[in-house]
Amino acid sequence: MERKKTVSVTLPDGSKIEVESGITASELAKGLGEGLFKKAIAAKINNQLVDLSFKIEKDSSIKIITYNDPEAQEIILHTTAHVMAQAVKRLYPDAKIAIGPALEKRFYYDIDVEPPIKEDDLPRIEEEMRKIIKADHPIERVEMTRSEAIEFFADRGEIYKVEILNDIVDTEVVSIYRQDDFVDLCRGPHLPSTGKIRAFKLLSVAGAYWRGDSRNKMLTRIYGTSFPTREALNKYLKFLEEAKKRDHRVLGRQLELFDINENVGPGLVLWFPKGTIIRKIIEDLWIKEHLERGYQLVQTPHIGKARLWEISGHLGFYRESMFDAMKVENDEYYVKPMNCPFHIMIYKSKTRSYRDLPIKYAELGTVYRYELSGVLHGLMRVRGFTQDDAHIICTPEQLDEEIEKLVEFSISFLRNFGFENFDIYVSTRPEEKFTGSIQMWDVATYSLKKALEKLNIDYSIDEGGGAFYGPKIDIKIRDALERSWQCTTIQFDFNLPERFDMSYIAEDGTKKRPYMIHRAILGSIERFVGILLEHSAGDFPVWLAPVQAVVLPITDKQADYACEVFNYMKERGIRVELNNRSQTIGQKIREAELQKIPFMLIIGEKEVSTNRVSVRRRKKGSLGVFTWEETFNLIKEGK
């Protein structure tokens, strides 16, 4: 009798077992234990997520994925998205399915359906989804050639799937997933059956242009979420409610900070007086701290000749994110997507010696990038924004010290705004395409790690995640809702110094290539203000609040005295307003609370007669009665 072939399987604890070749991940899970089998939803084989139906045909390391594993969330979301799409197809047979990715804790599906689905339709779709889940349809993976898949989806009128397939050029074999009467193009993996979905909710409906391009058709985008337990779902729904209250777009209008007007252009921000004050305070602090650390401030134009962007490589690698050229005296000019080529031209304006280095150029430079209208989002994703940009040009010997200074400066600056929790990543050399020598990459990467370790900062490695032109440190901040936001980037660049032939005269008299580091602490002023708004719910610390205090006379009889208090505070640098409108004091206080003004200076007959001010603190209530000077000191202390 012929002996069946076996393969070796390495389990997460390091132990090894022999199993029959061709066994599925599901069968392996069952063999390891009935409890594991019941909780199993997918597998990780040689660090690649696969369906439980995957056949093990060679020696492999294997982890069975259950509902409790971090990898489970995306699989659950993705499968729930397919179930939602199936429900929509049942209820709207003429609907055409576009794309449906899983996000961090949500999913969405873009669907071409007439008339567009509305919020009121979501309960009906949810009810149909529950029927599909109850039926517990098996989910099957099928592989086809690309041409077979194009014909398959064309026969079903799924024009968006056909377009996606026509754009795939790097593979000839694609996978589709089938559950009952629904079929979709997808890489997977998925849950083994629809019945494995436990707790879901459809969240909202929005419009979305196909592929985010306003020149394409507007589709209906349905958002939803899904979790292993009802408890986890309810917790997330509460989080969404809190996040909704903190939406920076709503707060921006409510607090009269900024607007994005379609008549001006999508993604272009109009800063109102109060918003401009916040920007100026941030920028003044930024300038002060840079000057203290030896940076030199520069300013560069908003446009540059096409030749500049050819040398930098932007026209070759970044053209689709740049606005179209403008003709000026037979030359083509582009609005700048980045500041770096201008800083390099300042560096190259004369011969540099090793004695001149390091040179640190800093600029609050406004740049413009053509983002598709479908991805624009308040201040978080715009077309015109101000980078808090800096470039450090140094010798190899100065590298370690400069990186250490950059990390310390970045974290110190972010802490000014109340951020204390950071997620830090070092991104290393990609496997294939990269510029610069391996030795340069190794030196730079070691310098990044060494700086973090010397400062006792924990970090994770993003293996192969560096840009083609150099390794980097990314610093993400955690906000009040524990969301992670990318802010600081400390990025080596081996590409631009080569392209622009940057050099310095070394101590031995020879020409050498300097190291160049791009660095932004906040990322962009616009986005950072948006993050701050959501982190603080618009309740800024006193030093940053656009209006620090408002003077509130109780009646018209106190108007003159209130005006004197107002002028006293204003002359001493307090950002103060005077509300002398014909309102009750209760209305005035409520308005100040809604505008999130930290201090309310209430003036009544008693205050006038005693030459005092009654001070009320937002959220805390009355602090008592104080002299003008004591009131001023309270506001300056910001407590």
For the chain, the farthest-separated pair of C-alpha atoms sits apart, in whole angstroms, at 110
Alpha-carbon gap, residue 216 to 351, rounded angstroms: 51
Closest CA to 212 of 73, 101, 113: 101
Alpha-carbon gap, residue 386 to 381, rounded angstroms: 12
- Which of the following is catalytic: 472, 588, 612, 616? 472
**Annotated catalytic residue 186:** no
**Annotated catalytic residue 527:** no
- Which of the following is catalytic: 121, 274, 340, 595? 340
- Which of the following is catalytic: 221, 369, 383, 575? 369
Q: List all residues 6 or more positions away from 62 whose beta carbon is below 8 Å from its beta carbon.
A: 9, 10, 11, 25, 28, 43, 44, 45, 56
Element (H, E) at 153: helix 146-155
Closest CA to 486 of 441, 430, 419, 431: 419
Q: List all residues 6 or more positions away from 258 whose beta carbon is below 8 Å from its beta carbon.
A: 252, 269, 270, 271, 272, 275, 379, 529
- Which of the following is catalytic: 518, 519, 588, 596? 518
Element (H, E) at 450: helix 438-454
| Sign of the alpha-carbon torsion through 445, 447, 453, 459 | negative
Alpha-carbon gap, residue 302 to 342, rounded angstroms: 10
C-alpha distances in Å from residue 251, one per residue of 114, 444, 454, 538, 615? 33, 42, 40, 6, 26
**514: which DSSP letter?**
P
DSSP string of 89-130, one letter each residue? HHHSTT-EE----B-SS-EEEEEE-SSPP-GGGHHHHHHHHH
**Annotated catalytic residue 86:** no
Reduced to 3 states (helix: H, G, I; strand: E, B; else coil), residue 412 is: helix
**Annotated catalytic residue 472:** yes
**Annotated catalytic residue 398:** no
Alpha-carbon gap, residue 133 to 127, rounded angstroms: 10
Is residue 635 within 8 Å of 543, Cβ to Cβ? no
Pair of tokens at residue 452? 């973090």
- Which of the following is catalytic: 383, 391, 429, 616? 391
Reduced to 3 states (helix: H, G, I; strand: E, B; else coil), residue 53 is: coil
Closest CA to 307 of 318, 315, 296: 315
Helix 273-292 vs helix 399-415: crossing angle, to nearest 10: 150
Provide long-range contacts, Cβ within 8 A and 24+ apart, for 477-480. 477/414, 477/419, 477/421, 477/422, 477/531, 478/419, 478/421, 478/422, 478/423, 479/419, 479/531, 479/534, 479/535, 480/246, 480/535, 480/536, 480/537
Element (H, E) at 445: helix 438-454
**Annotated catalytic residue 394:** no
Alpha-carbon gap, residue 93 to 555, rounded angstroms: 66
Alpha-carbon gap, residue 157 to 165, rounded angstroms: 14
CB neighbour burial string for 594-628, b if at least 16 within 10 angstroms, e if fewer: ebbbbbbbbbbeebbeeebbbbbebeeeeeeebeb
**Annotated catalytic residue 369:** yes
Tell me whether residue 160 is exposed, middle or buried, using C-beta atoms within 10 angstroms of its C-beta: 0 to 12, 13 to 18, 19 or more: buried
Amino acid making up residue 305: K
Tell me whether residue 224 is exposed, middle or buried, using C-beta atoms within 10 angstroms of its C-beta: 0 to 12, 13 to 18, 19 or more: buried
Closest CA to 398 of 349, 436, 447: 447
Pair of tokens at residue 36? 């594991």
Catalytic residues: 340, 369, 387, 389, 391, 472, 518
